[in-house]
Chains A and B, each alone.
Chain A
Amino acid sequence: MTAYILRRLVLLLPVLLIVGVVVFILVHLTPGDPAAVMLGPEASNEQVQQLRDQLGLNDPFYIQFVDWVGGAIHLDFGNSIFLNMPVTTALWQRAQPTGLLTLYALIVSLLIGVPAGVIAAVRRNSWIDRALMALSVSGAAMPSFYLAILLILLFAVTLHWLPSGGYVSITDNPVQHFKRMLMPAFSLGFANAALLARLIRSSMLDVLREDYIRTAYSKGLAQRRVITLHALRNALIPAITVVGSSLGALLGGAVITETVFTLPGMGQLVVQSVLRRDFPVIQGAVMVIAAIYVLANLLVDVLYIYIDPRVRYGNK
């Protein structure tokens, strides 16, 4: 098991190398000059060239690449051109909002999606099933930014119950933190909850037809016990893959949610950095997101072992 995990971790390196090369080339092939963006629209060409020299942007492409790889090996992604701070610091500052937003969205999607899927499966073809699935289809179809704007209009503008945006760290003020994260987490988690509910419903239906469920009922076990202990555990296995890969979707969705709710997270950092042509930040952020994605998949594979003892890796 440990050997398997180590092997997967070692495989992370070539993945990151390929990602790094592709991102570096793409970023540098894209037209746009960070120095010109920084100096403003009315700066003279002379000023722009002066800053380009200072930032090393006039160095040949291969020298910039070697410099960057040399730093990246030591987890030093250079300095942000625009923010005037190390890229790692900028990313670290943004990690908390994005990490917590993704976590809360995941919790929201599990809290809504799993019970909805189970209830729909158990009450198959009833009005509850139909209502839940109709909600689920519309939930999956509704773009998260649209839901976000509707939530803001209702809860911030009309009712004044929640702030419209902004971020407060959980350590600074937990109450304000949760008030500000409630709407973003819900708008981001809802679409995922809808997907999850449909998935859990269909895999529950499969499991509920299995012999061992019939056996459990015939033993005289209560329905609640059969469903939670016997059926749900097996129905969750395909759901875990979806939850794992939905982490990527949530991170992607966080870009939009963070913009609408003004959360200073990694998503917003990436978007802003692209507009500002802040090359080092774009490169660093994409590397980190790629690593998170790969590690999340590894985590899912490891979780399988605990949920389904039939799964074994690396035993030859």
Chain B
Amino acid sequence: MSQDREFLTLLDAASQGRMSRRDVLKRAMAVGLSVPAISALLAACGSSDDSTATTGSSSSGGAATSASGGASTAASGGAATATAGGATTGAASPVPEKGVKGGTINAVIIGEPPTLDIHWTTATIVGFVTWNMYEPLFAWDANYKLIPMLAESHEVSTDQLTHTIRLRQHVPFHNGDEMKSADVLASLQRWATKQGLGKALFEASEKVTAVDDYTIEFKMKNPYGVFESTLGYYYQGPAIYPKSVVDAAGDGQIKEFIGTGPYKFVERQPDRFIKFERFEDYAALPGEPNGYGGHKYAYADQLIFTPVSDEAARIAGLRSGDYHFLESISSDQFDTLKDDAVATAEVLPPGGWDTFVLNWKSPLMSNQKIRQAFQMALNHEPIMLAAWGEGYYRLDPSIMQKETIWYSTAGKEHYSPNDPDGAKKLLDEAGYDGTAIRFMTTKEYLNQYNNAVVCKQQLEAAGFKVDLQVYDWATVVDRRSKPDMWDTFTTGISFRPEPTQLAIMQLCNWPGWWCSESSQEILDGLRSESDFDKRFKLMEQLQTNFYEEVPMIKIGDTKDIVARSQKLQGLSQQQQLGPQLWNAWLEK
């Protein structure tokens, strides 16, 4: 009986985070609890790790985490810490390996990455390749919440102004040096000179210091709700490099590619291959893999990325057994590959959405009524069908995808209204004089071109005149930065687990120039607020604005199709930010 009572007391303490894993374990052993009972208690400890003293106290006014992605656990000002170890696992040691060690995974990329310096570019291909060798302080877990990666814990002071990040100890870089706070500080400072979110973070801080070898402290001017998610930014993310590498780079790109990740860089021959090999001294987190964080197995001895620009050549290479993974293929190829003897193809959950961006600085589109007429004229189903084909898209109004905790249908009445008569009426009210919309698109991404062709027909049916201008992608990217050259263009918005990180949230600083005071105000709130419920409400307001102010049209979510060799196993379906090759293996 007393054991049962002790068990319940401990369970309560563990689940509320009032005791550390070590204390729970000690007490449980002292009272002679059984092994299954102890396991249950440890699981209830969740993310608490014995190397961190908990700040646990359920009284109000204690320190709180600012885990913006996973803020549901960090509400109410109660004390909590986010700690390393895999939030959903709670296991202290790695589970037995399921995969097969050895071999070389040959992955195909659609072009040569512009650089292997991830601080440098937003190009997704760079993230795909380089996150095998670099690591961030915080990573996105299987549910797109943030968990510590190189950080061990993150604490926020009661006044929300001091963020203390404790680093994991004994984490080696590929050059053998241990990762310390000087490396982290140098990397973050450099990253902030290249990346807008990083720049904003440093501008919002009063002082950033390395308190000791394993502690970094940010003193903020004001509460900063997106602190962790900024440090977990993925595509142009704050990878931690050794300070020596940062110093040697000066203003330019880094000259040596060194990180703390499960694979280390071996060789790059531009347009031929990029080769990595397993880093044998990798300091893996205990527990199981958890999204982009948690334990990383690094089953394959080597990873080789080969740029192949021609899709037919990519498919042929996969079917002949030369390649093991193709990052993305067109839906036309799906049926051929799904029945192939060597290869297979999978349709993944949506990884982004298609859009028509409207130019707020053009004489035509600066008129809100004309933008609303544009929105009202469209029926999204045929547009997506032409672009992607049946089964490869999802019609959904939420600008944050269903797979995230930010899903909302706010403003859905303006999504795909299919009301050409209403659009005509709005055009009359706006005094539309029949000037043709300069509509830029590209055949380099055929889906964008197909989107545009169907959209043009629908707009014309509602009384618009449309001048469809087809360019190569580089030209579209160049022209879209010049406000006087276009009215609308096609593009895709890539997946982000945090709303403030969507490309469109650069508002007035991104082509289209969504310069709305009201939206800016909501966005500022979203950035400073830490409480998830409050942030969610702000996010819904922003989405309502999105549909009323019409900076762009969200057409629909797009599903990625990846193709792989049947030998390649263990690849997670969670690939919105990129595939996690470090946990995949080759069957013999």
Contact = CB atoms under 8 A, between A and B. Distances in A.
A84 B270 CA distance: 10
A260 B314 CA distance: 9
A85 interface: yes
B272 A42 contact: no
Contacts of B479: 31
Interface residues of B, number: 52
B477 A33 contact: yes
B477 A32 contact: yes
Interface string A19-55: 0000000000011110011111111111110000010
Contacts of B235: 40, 42
> Which interface residue of A42, A48, A152, A166 has the most chain B CB atoms within 10 A?
A42
B332 interface: no
B313 A259 contact: yes
> Which interface residue of A32, A260, A271 has the most chain B CB atoms within 10 A?
A32
A15 interface: no
Interface in B26-64: none
A82 B194 CA distance: 17
A33 B478 contact: yes
A176 interface: no
> Which interface residue of B115, B235, B477, B503 has the most chain A CB atoms within 10 A?
B477
A286 interface: no
A154 to B, nearest CB: 11
A158 B218 CA distance: 60
Contact of A272 (B271, B319, B475): B271
Interface stretch (B117-125, B201-209, B552-560): B117-125
B509 to A, nearest CB: 5
Interface in B91-130: 111-112, 114-115, 120-124, 126
Contacts of A33: 474, 477-478, 481
Interface in A150-167: 152-153, 156-157, 160, 163-167
Given A36-B481, A160-B320, A164-B320, A42 B503 contact: yes
A42 B122 contact: yes
A269 B269 CA distance: 13
Contacts, number: 146
Contact of B114 (A82, A153, A167, A261): A82
A241 interface: no
B433 interface: no
Given A42-B494, A85-B270, A272-B309, A36 B316 contact: no
Nearest to A262: B308
A249 interface: no
Contacts of A152: 313, 316, 320
Interface string B187-207: 000000011100000000000
Given A45-B511, A163-B320, A165-B313, A32 B472 contact: yes
A32 B510 CA distance: 17
B463 interface: no
Contacts of A276: 114, 474
A188 to B, nearest CB: 15
A117 B257 CA distance: 56
A157 B319 CA distance: 6
Interface string A69-105: 0000000000000111100001001100000000000
> Which interface residue of B120, B306, B492, B509 has the most chain A CB atoms within 10 A?
B120
A165 B309 contact: no
A277 B124 CA distance: 19
B16 interface: no
A149 interface: yes
A42 B491 CA distance: 10
Contact of A40 (B122, B253, B471, B509): B122
Contacts of B322: 156, 163-166
Contact of B271 (A37, A44, A269): A269
A84 B249 CA distance: 13
A31 B470 CA distance: 13
A1 interface: no
A275 B474 contact: yes
Contacts of A260: 310, 312-313
Given A40-B123, A268-B309, 18 more contacts: A32-B474, A37-B474, A38-B114, A39-B114, A39-B123, A42-B494, A44-B506, A47-B195, A47-B196, A149-B316, A157-B319, A164-B320, A165-B308, A166-B272, A259-B313, A260-B313, A276-B474, A277-B474
16 contacts: A33-B481, A39-B122, A40-B114, A40-B235, A42-B503, A43-B121, A44-B196, A44-B506, A45-B511, A47-B196, A84-B115, A94-B271, A156-B316, A164-B316, A259-B309, A262-B310
Interface of B: 111-112, 114-115, 120-124, 126, 194-196, 235-236, 251, 253, 269-272, 306-310, 312-313, 316-317, 319-322, 444, 471-475, 477-479, 481, 491-492, 494, 503, 506, 509-511
